[in-house]
Amino acid sequence: MNPLAAVFFRDMRIAVRVGGGALMGVLFFLAVITLVPFAIGPDLALLRRIGPAILWLGALLASLLALDRLFAGDHEDGSLDLILLGRAPLELVVIAKALAHWVTTGLPLVIASPVLGLFLNLEPLAIAAVMLTLLVGTPALTFIGLVGAALAVMLRRGGLLLPVLVLPLAIPVLIFGVSAADAAIVGPVPFGTPLAILCALTLISLVVGPVAAAAALRQGSE
């Protein structure tokens, strides 16, 4: 089998097995969204207005949750050394691992978002908009978080450090994700403009994230 595909399916299997954190992110997402009405009151009009922002914030926090396990497990059982020694380019292996991570933690968030959107009294159109922006934007969160995960492995500790390093870098994704969703509902700007920029951010992070993460892993192995 192609080594990249092997890494991808291996990570998928590890994530859905006992002890893997595949559905933990969705549970956390659900918990955060449930907390919001308790914090701001059950005002349906207000919830409808800030709903896309809350969904995005919850998805951002939930995608951070499982991030530090991205390389940590491989580092502990030594398979990271094998990956580093292997013939497949490290950048591509890192992309394969990130994709597996996104499919097991990011994609469930996207799939769960319509149900949570109903809790927040969103219109069907708004739910579709939020779902589409999450589908486009969550890969960017994973690829930005990749850098932080690789640095955390390199530093040998850094579970607490990871969110502090990653969150400022995720600000553009949050801004354009929420403004695209808002644009579809009320906004003065057309939906396409912020969505196109969100796609651009995802593509940029697809290049920058794996290169930086691979550099960090190489430096850490010395």
Which residues contact another protein by CB under 8 A?
A: 147, 151, 154-158, 161, 164-165, 167-169, 171-172, 175-176, 179, 187-189, 194, 197, 201, 204, 208, 212, 215-216, 219-220, 222
Phi first, then psi: what are they for 171, rounded to 5°?
Answer: -55, -45
CB of 161 to another protein, least distance (A): 6
Question: Among 136, 133, 171, 144, which residue's Cα sits nearest to residue 51?
Answer: 133
User: CB-wise, 104 or 202, nearer to another protein?
Assistant: 202
CB of 131 to another protein, least distance (A): 21
User: CB-wise, 15 or 198, nearer to another protein?
Assistant: 198
Measured distance CA(122)–CA(169) in Å, rounded: 28
Element (H, E) at 39: helix 24-40
User: CB-wise, 17 or 222, nearer to another protein?
Assistant: 222
CB of 11 to another protein, least distance (A): 23
Residue 68 is classified by DSSP as T
User: CB-wise, 65 or 197, nearer to another protein?
Assistant: 197
Query: Residue 17 burial (CB < 10 Å; 0-12/13-18/19+)?
Result: exposed
CB of 209 to another protein, least distance (A): 8
CB of 158 to another protein, least distance (A): 6
Measured distance CA(22)–CA(102) in Å, rounded: 10
CB of 17 to another protein, least distance (A): 31
Measured distance CA(60)–CA(25) in Å, rounded: 10
**Helix 171-185 / helix 44-65 crossing angle, nearest 10 deg:** 150
Measured distance CA(213)–CA(10) in Å, rounded: 20
**Cβ distance 181 to 130 under 8 Å?**
yes
User: CB-wise, 3 or 158, nearer to another protein?
Assistant: 158
User: CB-wise, 104 or 133, nearer to another protein?
Assistant: 133
